[in-house]
């Protein structure tokens, strides 16, 4: 699915028009428009060649989208991209009963949570599924999934070489990852402000990966074995006290190999967990949804009702490339989709 397309046509009245389709929204413009819009249309035509390279063109496209389009009315992805999204949504639907069976406290997070807020499902240009747990449940879930996933022909990995060190659930055949599961830790030091906690998180993260990154990359040690050491470093830095009221939640440093943003949240913005709808599935979401989203990765989403700031900000471009190329990947994806449908039909999930 292309992110945009521009087409020149002649309508039924013989007038020349320009059809601009962006993120599934189709807009029609007369060629004889006012000078400012006309200039924008000309620049958008050139955008096909320059979008990846020019920040100025990206900014103009964003301005056009934000002023001309209602982001909540973007049509869902179609074709192979939609197929990929469906497969991952069905995998989550299969796993939710496991979470509930073992009383795992979990919630949809990051881009998937933004999808709940804005689209009631996948963001049209997003393809992954993000789930978060607090540390205690995250550790329990690891052991649980090792036992449960083989029933669904799924596998669990943590910190495979060259990747972020959080849990990933994938199909056994290695075609794709179904979902990412992130750990969140708690700060119970009442004297720490959010700014102070941010500094300490960044400092511990730097020290931790300077010491262990090469060993993790070489497979000489597992991230799982280093969690006690990470907890010791956090306590030594004053991020956690022997006792005290919990105030902050932050993304586990073990899941932040490449990401330098801690996602610090007020605990009160999480509880009590609420129910939301994502791809027709009932999911857990933070209590104060907007506040939580604004706190994600130091406010990375900005205004929640606007389009991405640049093409380079769009993640998972490899997924789009695979879907565009088609071939063997899509055939296997169709088989996987059929297999998940069969599992869902045999389960008690409706």
Separation of alpha carbons 86 and 90, rounded Å: 6
Tell me, yes or no, whether 186 lies in a domain: yes
Which of 69, 94, 109 terminates a domain? The answer is: 69
The mean pLDDT value of the chain amounts to: 83
The range of the structural domain enclosing residue 40 comes to 4-69
Same domain, 166 and 266: yes
Domain count, the chain: 2
Based on the fold, state whether residues 30 and 108 are members of the same structural domain: no
Residue spans of alpha helices (H) in the chain: 35-50, 55-68, 79-101, 110-119, 135-148, 194-217, 223-236, 289-295, 317-325, 328-346
| Alpha-carbon span 308 to 305, nearest angstrom | 10
Q: What is the pLDDT of residue 338?
A: 97
Query: Are residues 126 and 147 located together in one domain of the fold?
Result: yes
What's the CA dihedral at 197, 163, 101, 187 to 10 degrees? -10
Q: Which residue would you say has higher pLDDT here, 314 or 247?
A: 247
For residue 240, what pLDDT band results from cuts at 50, 70 and 90?
confident
The answer to the question of residue 324 being in a domain is no
Q: What is the pLDDT of residues 80-134, one digit of tens each?
A: 999 999 999 999 999 999 999 999 999 999 999 999 999 999 999 899 999 999 9
Based on the domain organization, do 298 and 258 belong to the same domain?
A: yes
CA 320 to chain centre: 15
Residues 156 and 223 grouped into a single domain: yes
Residues 95 and 26 in one domain: no
| 345 backbone dihedrals φ, ψ, rounded to 5° | -70, -25
Q: Between these two residues, 127 and 22, which has the higher pLDDT value?
A: 127
Q: Are residues 59 and 143 in the same domain?
A: no
Largest CA distance in the chain: 77
Confidence band (pLDDT; 50, 70, 90) for 29?
Answer: low
- Does residue 328 form part of some domain? no
- Comparison of pLDDT for 230 and 50, the residue scoring more: 230
Residue 260 placed within a domain = yes
Looking at the structure, tell me whether residues 106 and 59 fall in a common domain.
Answer: no
| One domain for residues 98 and 51 | no
pTM of structure? 0.82
Q: What is the pLDDT of residue 11?
A: 64
**Is residue 152 domain-resident?**
yes
């Amino acid at each position: 699915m292309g992110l945009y397309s521009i087409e020149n046509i002649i309508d039924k009245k013989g007038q020349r028009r320009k059809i601009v389709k962006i993120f599934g929204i189709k807009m029609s413009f007369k060629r004889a428009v006012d000078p400012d819009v006309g200039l924008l249309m000309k620049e958008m035509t050139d955008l096909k060649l320059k979008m990846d390279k020019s920040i100025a063109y990206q900014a103009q496209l964003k301005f056009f989208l934000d002023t001309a389009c209602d982001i909540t009315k973007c049509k869902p992805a179609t074709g192979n991209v939609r197929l990929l999204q469906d497969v991952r949504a069905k995998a989550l639907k299969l796993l939710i009963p496991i979470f509930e069976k073992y009383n795992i406290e979990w919630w949809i997070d990051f881009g998937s949570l933004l999808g709940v807020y804005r689209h009631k499902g996948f963001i049209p240009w997003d393809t992954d599924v993000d789930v978060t747990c607090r540390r205690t449940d995250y550790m329990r879930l690891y052991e649980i999934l090792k036992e449960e996933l083989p029933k669904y022909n799924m596998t669990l990995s943590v910190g495979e070489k060259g990747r972020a060190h959080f849990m990933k659930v994938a199909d056994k055949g290695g075609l794709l990852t179904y979902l990412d599961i992130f750990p969140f830790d708690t700060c119970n030091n009442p004297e720490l402000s959010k700014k102070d906690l941010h500094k300490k998180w960044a400092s511990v993260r730097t020290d931790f990966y300077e010491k262990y990154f090469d060993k993790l990359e070489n497979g000489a040690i597992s991230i799982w074995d280093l969690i006690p050491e990470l907890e010791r470093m956090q306590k030594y830095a004053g991020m956690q006290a022997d006792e005290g009221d919990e105030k902050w939640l932050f993304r586990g440093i073990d899941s932040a190999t490449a990401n330098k943003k801690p996602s610090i949240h007020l605990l009160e913005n999480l509880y009590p967990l609420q129910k939301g709808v994502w791809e027709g599935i009932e999911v857990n979401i933070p209590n104060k949804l907007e506040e939580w989203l604004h706190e994600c990765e130091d406010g990375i989403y900005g205004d929640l009702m606007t389009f991405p700031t640049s093409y380079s900000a769009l993640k998972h471009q490899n997924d789009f490339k695979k879907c565009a190329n088609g071939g063997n990947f899509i055939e296997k994806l169709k088989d996987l989709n059929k297999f998940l449908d069969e599992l869902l039909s045999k389960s008690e999930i409706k």
